[in-house]
């Protein structure tokens, strides 16, 4: 089995069929809605909050709200629907979360998307949660994860998941690979390729994206949507704390399984880091779209489908993908 990661792959160009990159269509239908680009900011507390979720939805981008202020979720769904915007939230699998699904149903607040956000998503509790959501909120599009194997994808799809999220440990603030020895860190792109062979429903590639070109590579290897944390962490709108050091601005980015998130030092599988301040997130989203349009033109097509068929070469191998402990 060939093993590789984002930095090991180069896609091979085909003859261009457009006169301008602006002709290339980056839109993607994912579940009940269509979005401008196949990218979603990670559902982490330093990446997304309510105001950013609202502005992303208004501007035609996908978002998934995090689950770390559980008491705010019902009101959030209500507010989004009141403003005629789609509602997309996350849940865990502890007993309270099963009650929360019943609460949503009783209040007739039906999220358009629910993401089951668990480190080791190939588990009976996630399967139980998929069944539970489908029983109480049958019209909600359910994203389940995270998994790193074709068996994981198959089991969650068979349980009723509408999409699965792939990526155990490739994230920038992830230390799962170092603390447990497990995961797709260092071979996330190859794992995505393996999972895509088994998938009959959309996949979200989650973690390890370091450049805009990695979005195109994710599409090539089977993703319908790409979840990104670190590239979104440094913006004016990012909820992470802004910090100034020696006159340079940074923003905090921490893992959802870090001590900072948990407030305790148990089962820590995430770290905190500072990322350079990057200005307005709108500029980053526009640049991502333009880079993706350019990638589509190199693929010799006019839309994202062209990226799924391009040839590629493996140019080198490196297991840490630039990350440090």
Ligand X SMILES: NC(=O)C1=CN([C@@H]2O[C@H](COP(=O)(O)OP(=O)(O)OC[C@H]3O[C@@H](n4cnc5c(N)ncnc54)[C@H](OP(=O)(O)O)[C@@H]3O)[C@@H](O)[C@H]2O)C=CC1
Binding-site residues for NADP(+) sit at 203-226
In the range 6-45, which residues lie near ligand LQESDW3C by CB under 6 A? 42, 44
Q: Are 176 and 269 in contact (CB under 8 A)?
A: yes
The residue from 256, 284, 293, 297 that contacts ligand LQESDW3C (CB under 6 A) is 256
- Determine the interface stretch with ligand X among 151-159, 169-177, 234-242, 302-310 (rule: CB under 6 A): 169-177
Dihedral sign, Cα of residue 46, residue 319, residue 195, residue 24: positive
Using CB under 6 A as the binding rule, whether residue 323 contacts ligand X is answered as no
Using CB under 6 A as the binding rule, whether residue 257 contacts ligand X is answered as yes
- Residue 10, judged by CB atoms within 10 A of its CB (0-12, 13-18, 19+), counts as middle
Nearest residue to 316 (alpha-carbon basis) of 45, 1, 101, 3 = 3
Q: Are 150 and 194 in contact (CB under 8 A)?
A: yes
Nearest residue to 312 (alpha-carbon basis) of 5, 38, 20, 37 = 5
Q: Tokens 């992303």, residue?
A: 56
> In angstroms, rounded to a whole number, what is the distance separating the alpha carbons of residues 186 and 208?
8
Tell me: cis bond preceding 146? Omega within 30 of 0 counts: yes
* Least distance between ligand X and beta carbon 8 (Å): 20
Active-site residue flag, 174: yes
Choose the contact partner of 251 out of ligand LQESDW3C, ligand X, none; CB within 5 to 8 A by kind. Answer: none
58 vs 124, which CB is nearer to ligand X?
A: 124
H-only helix segments in 2-119 = 50-58, 73-82, 95-106
> In angstroms, rounded to a whole number, what is the distance separating the alpha carbons of residues 183 and 176?
7
Using CB under 6 A as the binding rule, whether residue 270 contacts ligand LQESDW3C is answered as yes
Choose the contact partner of 229 out of ligand X, ligand LQESDW3C, none; CB within 5 to 8 A by kind. Answer: ligand LQESDW3C
Using CB under 6 A as the binding rule, whether residue 94 contacts ligand X is answered as yes
Output DSSP code: residue 311.
-
Choose the contact partner of 204 out of ligand LQESDW3C, ligand X, none; CB within 5 to 8 A by kind. Answer: none
Contact string (CB under 6 A) for ligand LQESDW3C, positions 216-245, x = contact: -----------xxxx---------------
The residues that are catalytic are: 174
Please give the residue ranges that form the binding site for ligand X (CB under 6 A).
92-94, 117-120, 146, 167-169, 171, 174, 176, 207, 256-257, 267, 269
Please give the residue ranges that form the binding site for ligand LQESDW3C (CB under 6 A).
42, 44, 146, 167, 169, 171-174, 176, 206-209, 227-230, 255-258, 269-270
């Amino acid at each position: 089995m060939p093993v590789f990661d984002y930095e090991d792959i180069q896609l091979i160009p085909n003859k261009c069929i457009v006169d301008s990159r602006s002709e290339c269509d980056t839109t993607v239908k994912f579940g009940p809605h269509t979005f401008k680009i196949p990218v979603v900011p990670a559902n982490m507390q330093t990446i997304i909050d309510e105001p950013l979720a609202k502005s992303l939805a208004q501007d035609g981008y996908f978002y998934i709200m995090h689950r770390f202020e559980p008491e705010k979720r019902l009101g959030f769904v209500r507010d989004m629907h009141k403003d005629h915007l789609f509602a997309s939230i996350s849940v865990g699998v502890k007993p309270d979360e099963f009650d929360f699904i019943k609460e949503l149903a009783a209040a007739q607040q039906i999220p358009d998307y629910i993401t089951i956000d668990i480190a080791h998503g190939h588990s009976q509790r996630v399967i139980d949660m998929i069944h539970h959501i489908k029983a109480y909120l049958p019209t909600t599009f359910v994203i389940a994860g995270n998994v790193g194997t074709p068996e994981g994808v198959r089991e969650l799809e068979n349980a009723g998941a509408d999409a699965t999220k792939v990526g155990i440990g490739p994230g920038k603030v992830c230390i799962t690979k170092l603390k447990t020895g497990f995961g797709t860190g260092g071979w996330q792109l190859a794992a995505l390729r393996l999972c895509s062979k088994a998938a009959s429903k959309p996949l979200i590639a989650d973690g390890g994206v370091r450049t805009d070109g990695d979005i195109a590579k994710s599409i090539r290897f089977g993703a319908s949507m790409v979840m990104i944390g670190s590239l979104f962490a440094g913006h004016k709108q990012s909820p992470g704390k802004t910090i100034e050091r020696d006159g340079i601005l940074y923003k905090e980015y921490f893992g959802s399984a870090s001590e900072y998130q948990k407030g305790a030092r148990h089962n820590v599988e995430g770290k905190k880091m500072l990322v350079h301040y990057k200005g307005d997130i709108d500029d980053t989203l526009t640049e991502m779209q333009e880079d993706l349009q350019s990638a589509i033109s190199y693929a010799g097509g006019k839309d994202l489908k062209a990226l799924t068929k391009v040839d590629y070469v493996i140019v080198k191998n490196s297991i840490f993908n630039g990350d440090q402990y």
